[in-house]
Structure 1
Amino acid sequence: MSTSFATRARRPLAVALLVALVAPGMAWAQTAKEKALEARVAELERQVQLLLSAQQTQQGQITQAQTQITEVKTAQAATPATPAVPAGKQPIQSTTITPASNNGSVFSYGGFIKLDAMVTDTSDGRITDGSSGRLFYVPSTIPVGGQTADGGDPYTDFHAQFSRFWLSADNVTDDGNKFKAYVEMDFFGGGSNALAGNEIATNTYAVTLRQAYVSWNNWLAGQTWSNFQDTAALPDAVDFVGVTDGTTFVRQAQVRYTSGPWSFSAENPQTTLQSYAPFETAAGLRASTGDNVMPDLTARYNMKGDWGHFSVAALLRQFKSLDETASGGAVSVSGKFNLGTNDDLRYMANYGSGIGRYMAFGLGSDVMQEANGDIEALDGYGGFVAWRHVFSPKLRSNVMYSAAHFDNDPSLIGWGVTERSQSYHLNLIYSPFPKLDIGAELGWGQRSLEDDREGDIKRLQTTVKYTF
């Protein structure tokens, strides 16, 4: 019995000892888990606090950005809008290039550099050095009846005076009104001192005005091509004009109105006069007067299409010299007709009473003077035709013929005045790169007087021209 009792007595003791040994471990384990949980909770609280802080900072930045945007929009509303920069292009400067112009104006610039080199052979003496006839074909400068039987040896001239540049400022208002200001200049026609404007040392030439006008919708005011002239019909020449004899060619101050195909103008008047020659052996003196009261009036009608263009113009003029007056008028028909994709035909025909100043660079006078001082309008007519053929995108050629004729009265102004002129031109123009032209042109021209004396000119002209 004692052994059994002892055994039963030891069991509770063992259980008590086991509980005593295990309980502290369980308590320690419970405490570690709680601490880990507390640490995780603390970390989560810290991260939440950081997120809240970042959100507050971001909200502050958003509020500040919204405030700045509002300020910018307010400033933009107070400042007139500027035109948007086209896609793919960047402005060359941050401020407008035309600060004195209307807001939104578009400024443009262009022109060309042109070198002309020519060899000239004239039958009746040389063209005066320094005159316009040494630079391009001018029929009135062809010598006639010179002392040198064969005209002497050929002579060579180089120049770049027809190089040109232009400036333009265009604007369209919010309500659709269109404005344009245009100025164009070259270097033909001016030298300022003994070393400038000649070929001795510097070949310096003054800038000269070609065009200067402003246009507003259908109106134009300023200096530009006469409304009586169809510049679109001029041929592709190496010479400055080429078909000088039979073309109208005037730039002058005017006021013009255009409506669709119609255009009307009032232009600067001027009268060229051939004075009375009592002995009839030579030409009377040539003069130009600005005594006119009425402006030269013109009207033009244009038609355009895939076939080319056609134009007809009328001119009404008053002539005046001191107290003497006369009147006259003229018509001009011109255009271009496309002969397929590689050929076109360009033409002009002019006729009028008092057309002298407007045709062939004033080859004939506007009026003749009678013995009693009265003036009479001089009839004249002329024209040209030119065929253009394109061999390839880089090579083209032009063949041209031009002529002018004037019905002088030799009993009034003498037998030494010009009766007619004519010319032929043939050229070849090569364009190795876009906007670069290298050309050569053969030309022959003739001027005839009322007494049947004649003089001719033969010229080989070359050019290099780059348009920008």
Structure 2
Amino acid sequence: MNTTQLFNQPLITFKRTVLMSMMAMSLGGISLSSQAQTPAQSNQQEIEQLRQEVQALRALVEQQQAQTATVIAPVAIAPIPVSTPATKPVMKIASGAEFNLYGNIRADASYQAEGGSATRMYNQINTVPLEGTGERSDEFKSTLSATRLGMDFKTPVGAGDKALSGKIEVDFLGGASFDNLRIRHAYISYANWLIGQTWSNFAVPDYIPETVDALVYAGGSIKRTPQVRHTSTFSPATNLVLAVEDPKDGSIKQRLPALTARLNHKLADNFMVSARAMGHEKRINEDEKTAWGLGLGAKYDLVPGTTLKADYYHVKGDSSFVSYANPGVIAATNGDLLQSEFDSISVGLTQQFNEKLRGTLGYGYMNFDQSNAYIAASANPTAINKDLWQAWANVFYSPTKPLSFGLEYVYGEREAVVAAPNGSTKGEDNRVNAVAIYSF
């Protein structure tokens, strides 16, 4: 029996009982009245009385049916409200475009125990002074140059649900002294295309272990380039990104942009890999060489809250994509172009201790291979490195969502291919970094 039948049954029974009682009362009244009158009069009056009673019964039945319909009318059940996650407020303008502002106020401080230079406080492992040649040891530095301001926007385009989206983001790390406004990101994207400046398709930051230092350490790269990019999605787990990029290599005469490719694949929910390739023509005067590079990155969640990251590069003839490399190409006195070649790796383990505290242990290494002719052609051979390495440990604490504090210790060394006049070939980077960030 369904719900409607369950509600109807007692009402139908009640209706039948009322009707039968009223008919019995009517018949009783007819019998009494017929005993007091003549047969002819009695018959005529009975017929009239029956007609009136039938009409009354009909009206009563219709009334009962109307009341029954009102009682058993289906009741609309209000849907149970489902809580949805809070979203960032979105502002709209008259054209229909939506945008939201974001950014942070960031204060960095550093105590340089050994090494370093007077002009900057962020990582400079490839240029730290060799021992006894002008180190800036035992020195405190601070800056707010990494303070950031950005805007994301989205606007409908044509019919359907497609939209044009983009980003503009700036900070103050421009110029030689890192205190000028500069563009970090400025691009638009539509469907599978992106045009503008953002992270290089070759030197991506996705697989770099976390650092307090705003410029990362040896073996990593945070290159942003002007580019035109297209993404092809083969499956939910795999996509291919192709791009033409301007690497902004000031050491060469550029005739063509660099070509880059990146294949991203998710092996499992906790395991992602990325294979990358780069090719670029290097020209000095009218001589040219082809530079190329390969990259491989991986991110693996060992257990919930414990993440391993690793990033590897092999590059020949280029210093514009991966940070801290020797000049990719230089010209010999006879006009020949000579190339540097290197391998680099960075690896790190991040542990999320709780929702407010996390920490990272990291290591980065770069090894360079260049010919004697390359070294001899350099204007400053002591600036050409044989290898670089850095190791670091940090913790980040976020007492509330908009606030974050970080503390880090880093130690690293560089070894030059040619000794300084005092015989030293080693430079050190030994310091403590701290950061306070308010995000909005």
Q: Does 1:114 align with 2:77?
A: no
Task: State the 1:207 CA deviation.
Answer: 2.1
Q: Does 1:210 align with 2:184?
A: yes
Q: Hey, what does 2:275 align to over in structure 1?
A: 312
Q: Hey, what does 2:174 align to over in structure 1?
A: 189
Contact 1:139 1:360 in 2 (8 A): no
Q: Does 1:460 align with 2:422?
A: no
Q: Hey, what does 2:46 align to over in structure 1?
A: none
Task: State the 1:220 CA deviation.
Answer: 0.8
Say how many residue pairs are matched.
340
Determine helix, strand or coil for the equivalent of 1:413: helix
CA distance in 1, matches of 2:415, 2:88: 59
Contact 2:109 2:140 in 1 (8 A): yes
CA distance in 1, matches of 2:86, 2:141: 46
Determine helix, strand or coil for the equivalent of 2:323: coil
Determine helix, strand or coil for the equivalent of 2:399: strand
Do the aligned partners of residues 89 and 395 (structure 1) sit closer, same or farther apart at CA in structure 2, a change above 3 Å counting?
Answer: closer
Task: State the 1:117 CA deviation.
Answer: 1.0
Q: Does 1:388 align with 2:350?
A: yes
4+ runs deviating over 6 angstroms: 86-92
Determine helix, strand or coil for the equivalent of 2:180: coil
Q: Does 1:444 align with 2:417?
A: no
Q: Does 1:379 align with 2:346?
A: no
Contact 2:393 2:408 in 1 (8 A): yes
CA distance in 2, matches of 1:137, 1:390: 25
Contact 1:226 1:252 in 2 (8 A): yes
- Equivalent positions of 1:153-302 (< 5 A) are 153-173=137-157, 174-190=159-175, 205-242=179-216, 244-260=217-233, 261-271=239-249, 288-289=251-252, 291-302=253-264
Q: TM-score, normalised by structure 1?
A: 0.68
CA distance in 2, matches of 1:108, 1:436: 20
- Residues 401-445 of structure 1: per-residue CA shift (max 9 Å, x gap): 001121122333334211211100001111111232111100011
Partner residue of 2:360 out of 395, 398, 404: 398
Task: State the 1:97 CA deviation.
Answer: 4.5
Task: State the 1:348 CA deviation.
Answer: 0.2
Structure 1 vs Structure 2 CA RMSD: 2.5
Do the aligned partners of residues 381 and 91 (structure 1) sit closer, same or farther apart at CA in structure 2, a change above 3 Å counting?
Answer: closer
Task: State the 1:353 CA deviation.
Answer: 1.2
Q: Hey, what does 1:71 align to over in structure 2?
A: none
Determine helix, strand or coil for the equivalent of 2:374: helix
Q: What percent identity do the matched residue pairs reach?
A: 24
CA distance in 1, matches of 2:248, 2:87: 48
Unaligned residue ranges in structure 2 (runs of 5+): 1-83, 234-238, 420-424
Q: State the one-letter code of the partner of 1:442.
A: Y
CA distance in 2, matches of 1:266, 1:422: 31
Do the aligned partners of residues 346 and 241 (structure 1) sit closer, same or farther apart at CA in structure 2, a change above 3 Å counting?
Answer: farther
Q: Highest Rg: 1 or 2? A: 1
Q: State the one-letter code of the partner of 1:369.
A: A
Contact 1:371 1:412 in 2 (8 A): no
Q: State the one-letter code of the partner of 2:124.
A: V
Q: Does 1:409 align with 2:394?
A: no
CA distance in 1, matches of 2:185, 2:374: 38
Unaligned residue ranges in structure 1 (runs of 5+): 1-85, 192-196, 199-204, 273-287
